[in-house]
Amino acid sequence: MRGSMQSYRKVSVDSNMSVATPHRIIQMLLAGALERLAQAKLAIEKGDIANRGLLIGKAIGIVNGLNGSLNMDAGADVAGNLTQLYDYMLRRMTEANINNDPQAIDDVVSILKTIKEGWDAIPQDQHHLTSEAS
């Protein structure tokens, strides 16, 4: 049953990604990173080292993807600030994994939530502009 549910979720995410706007894809990636970090923090609390590493690794992959998608030519100030934040978050997630540190995860979650709130607040009629800055 669990495998079936995971397969269903994967198909659902894949189909959402295929029709999503660039703005929506960034929203989904931010939500995915937040979800993985919440799961990683729970793994730390349970002493589940294997899952902690796996989940933090997934969150690191998402943040690396977000960082790599930045357009440094359009909106260079915003992109430059975001790349510094992403670099900081990558360091903190690595520290969380190495040191089994839930506070480091909380630090990253706080920043990601702020970025996501800003991203979510972009009016619908300006979503086409966000693909230039992301």
How much of the chain exceeds pLDDT 70, in percent? 79
Question: In this model, does residue 11 exceed pLDDT 60?
Answer: no
Structure-token match 């260079």, residue found: 76
Query: What percent helix, strand, coil does the chain show, rounded to 5?
Result: 85, 0, 15
Q: pLDDT (tens digit, 9 = 90+) per residue, 51-63?
A: 999 999 999 999 9
> pLDDT averaged over the chain?
86
Amino acid at 110: S
Question: In this model, does residue 134 exceed pLDDT 80?
Answer: no
* Domains of the chain: residue spans and CATH: 24-133 (1.20.120.340)
pTM score: 0.81
The CA distance from 9 to 66, in Å, is 22
pLDDT band at 16 (very low <50, low <70, confident <90, very high): low
Residues contacting 8, CB < 8 A, separation 6+: none
Q: pLDDT (tens digit, 9 = 90+) per residue, 61-97?
A: 999 999 998 888 776 788 889 999 999 999 999 999 9
The CA distance from 111 to 89, in Å, is 8
Amino acid at 87: D
